[in-house]
Structure 1
Amino acid sequence: MTRTLPQPGRNDLDILKVLHALADPVRLELLHTLSRETEPSVCSLDAYDVDVSAPTLSHHWRVLREAGLTTTFVNGRNRWVELRREDLSARFPGLLEAVLAAFEHRPS
């Protein structure tokens, strides 16, 4: 049985919480990677190129979910995450695209 972890509804998305979640480089990297996925992606450490521990990665996923940037599905011991692209575009048009474009064009 699959369940979805708690997250804010589309109309409850708060710009300050979203911007706070986007302010961390690890979370930006996670979102950038997730934005290229067409299906929900597993939340495991080996699925993302970030240099953090498993508990720290879990923390970052929680911050993204609680800010409303992602949805997390739980099926047994597995967690899958999906970018809430439609909700973010409806609530804050152009924000996600601008952040991802800036991330891709950042100086090395």
Structure 2
Amino acid sequence: MSSDPDASAGAVRDAGPAFDALADPVRRRILAVLSEHDEVSAGDLADHITSVGRTAVSTHLRVLRVAGLITERRSGRYRYYSIEPGGAAADVIALLRTLFQSSLGEVGSAVESRPATDREGATG
């Protein structure tokens, strides 16, 4: 992975709405329910999410859809939701992978540069 700051900044811009959507615990719970199923109707989601009313669940679903994290399929008067595997979700995962790999590389370098006696004392 690249540690190019401009590449990371571009990913942050792409993932910004997704991170905003993920900031809410109700929306994270909706995503957790969706991750356990291929597709869930709006009514079934509302049954799983008991911390808010049905209208609020619909509002949260709209935020997640606009952020590109979920997709909506209409069938008659019903709406079915599923996680969008590409788009914003992929951007969030790519950004987090880049950030953590860069940070882990720095931690590994710092540990390797310490004298062996310091490393042994910290683990033992």
TM-score, normalised to structure 1's length?
Answer: 0.66
The number of residues matched between the two structures is 82
> Are the equivalent residues in 2 in contact too, given 1:26–1:50 (CA < 8 A)?
no
Distance change (3 Å), C-alpha of 1:49 and 1:95: farther
Counting aligned pairs with the same residue, the percent is 35
Within 2, Cα distance between the matches of 1:24 and 1:58?
Answer: 14
Higher helix content, 1 or 2: 2
Within 2, Cα distance between the matches of 1:80 and 1:33?
Answer: 13
Partner of 2:74: 74
Post-superposition offset of 1:30 = 0.5
Post-superposition offset of 1:95 = 6.4
User: Which consecutive residues of structure 2, in runs of 5 or more, have no partner in the other structure?
Assistant: 1-12, 97-124
Partner of 2:39: 40
TM-score, normalised to structure 2's length?
Answer: 0.58
> Are the equivalent residues in 1 in contact too, given 2:71–2:83 (CA < 8 A)?
yes
Matched, 1:84 2:79: no
Partner of 1:21: 21
Partner of 2:62: 62
Q: Which runs of 4+ in 1 moved over 6 A?
A: none
Partner of 2:51: 51
> Are the equivalent residues in 1 in contact too, given 2:26–2:49 (CA < 8 A)?
no
User: Which consecutive residues of structure 1, in runs of 5 or more, have no partner in the other structure?
Assistant: 1-12, 97-108
Question: What is the letter of the counterpart of residue 58 of structure 1?
Answer: S
SS in 2 for 1:85: coil
Post-superposition offset of 1:58 = 0.5
Question: What is the letter of the counterpart of residue 93 of structure 1?
Answer: I
Higher strand content, 1 or 2: 1
